[in-house]
Amino acid sequence: MHRRITRLIAPLILAVAALGASSLVQAKTNIEVNMDPVTAKSEMAPVWLGYAMARARYISAHFSDYQGQTGVIASAYVEEVEARFAATKMYNELRAKDLPANRYFDDLSKVITAGYMPEYTWVNLHQASWKTAPPDERLDAYRKWAKKNLAGHKVETHGQIVIKAAAADAASAAR
């Protein structure tokens, strides 16, 4: 299993390198990606790391929206939509190589194919801080579609984003 994970992580390293300047911003703003040890050792580690890195990249690009926030950061709606898209894309690319099937990401692939990722995110991952929902007719259509196509679906999230206090203080001082 270790060899398989190593082979699967190589594309992720390239993806992280492609972040380029965004990685520098993350270091400057002190954004930390945390993975639980079980997920970090699983075959799905590259996919969930891709999810967390997509969140970190989004936060870096929109850091002013996170002013004053420290500790574990709850995702913003658009951030979560983009991160789920990115993780599913990575899953599909790795799946085409030799990553074993995963029910959760197979379901997300169906959601993307049907064009419902914003609605999926709103309905299945909703947080109180999210204010702007997709149009009601799209939510209703998604719910009908999901009832038929996502029977037994269980939402998963692995990985956290932490903003260190020093980064938040430095950002405040720069204003």
Indicate whether this model's pTM tops 0.85.
no
Domain ranges of the chain: 2-170
Contact 160, 72 (CB under 8 A): yes
Segment 15-54, tens digit of pLDDT:
443 343 334 344 456 899 999 999 999 999 999 999 999 9
- The pLDDT tens digits for 98-116 are 999 999 999 999 999 999 9
| Confidence at residue 33, expressed as pLDDT on a 0 to 100 scale | 95
Residue 136 has pLDDT above 80, yes or no: yes
Both structure tokens of 146: 């999901």
Write the secondary structure of the chain as one string of H (helix), E (strand) and C (coil).
CHHHHHHHHHHHHHHHHHCCHHHHHHHHHCEEEECCHHHHCCCCHHHHHHHHHHHHHHHHHCHHHHCCCCEECCCCHHHHHHHHHHHHHHHHHHHHHCCCCCHHHHHHHHHHHHCCHHHHHHHHHCCCCCCCCCCHHHHHHHHHHHHHHCCCCCCCCCCEEEECHHHHHHHHHHC
pLDDT of residue 169: 53
